[in-house]
Structure formats: structure tokens, C-alpha cells
Amino acid sequence: GAKSQSESNNIPIRSFDIIYTLVDEIKVIIQGLQGEEKSEVNIGSARILEVFPRGKVQKIAGVRVSEGKILRNARIRLVRNSEIIFDGGVESMRHLTQNVTELTNNLEGGIVLNGYHEIEVEDILECYELK
């Protein structure tokens, strides 16, 4: 089917539940195609303290920000045992019951990564921007 054809032709398929995560991903792809020399700016990091199920597949990372801040619209890297497991965007971010655009140092919150759900307790989320 379409999936096997896309894999054999090296064409990635991504699905998005929220339109602005699609827009964010397209911006990143376009920036990559433009070939601009970008430098990475570290914004902050958080440790996953707990993992909560959300629906059949999704998982919510219960995190505490350990340094700087985590921004909803920045890039997120998931690091496990010093290895980068995921590099992408944030689908949703909450503090208590409110949707938020950032979590600052020592705050706790819930984060759903865009398209990646194999998160584990003690994983580290690194937030960065390309400038």
C-alpha cells in the first residue's frame, strides 16, 4: 500500500492531530531546505518524573523543569542514557489544568510530544531553538 511505497521511496509520512503542529513542522522543514547556517540555542531542560496514558497510544510526560524553561513552540529533544531518542515538537503542554506556552524553572507540567510516545521516567527533555 501507500506506506510500503513511501518507505521504499524514502518519503516520510507524518500525522498531526493539531494544525499548528503541522505548521511548526513545515517551518522547520522549509528552514532545513533553505540551507541557512543555523546555530542551536539551548533554552532549558526537564526531567520526566511520571508517565500518564492518554487514549490508546499517546502518553503524557509529567515533567519538572530543571534548568531554564521549556517553550511550547520550540524544538524538543528527548535524551535517554545520553542518546537522542526523539527530536521534534510539542503537541501540547499544561500546567495544572491550563494549557500553557512555557514551563519555567522548577515548575511541573504535562507535555505530549508530537508523534512520539515511547517516553520513560528519568528521560530528559532538552528545549532548543535554531537561530
Categorize the per-residue pLDDT at 68 as very low, low, confident or very high, splitting at 50, 70 and 90.
very high
Identify whether residues 104 and 61 lie together within a single domain. Answer: yes
| Total-model pTM | 0.72
Joined together, the cell numbers standing for residue 2 give 501507500
**CA–CA dist 42, 130 (Å, integer):** 9
> Structural domain of residue 16, as residue ranges?
2-34
The structural domain count of the chain equals 2
Evaluate if residue 32 carries a pLDDT over 90: no
| Burial of 111: CB neighbours in 10 Å, binned 0-12, 13-18, 19+ | buried
Categorize the per-residue pLDDT at 36 as very low, low, confident or very high, splitting at 50, 70 and 90.
low
Task: Give the whole-number percent of the chain exceeding pLDDT 70.
Answer: 98
Q: What is the CA radius of gyration of the chain?
A: 15
**CA–CA dist 29, 21 (Å, integer):** 12
Identify whether residues 30 and 50 lie together within a single domain. Answer: no
Identify whether residues 62 and 108 lie together within a single domain. Answer: yes
Identify whether residues 63 and 105 lie together within a single domain. Answer: yes
User: Most distant CA pair in the chain: distance in Å?
Assistant: 47
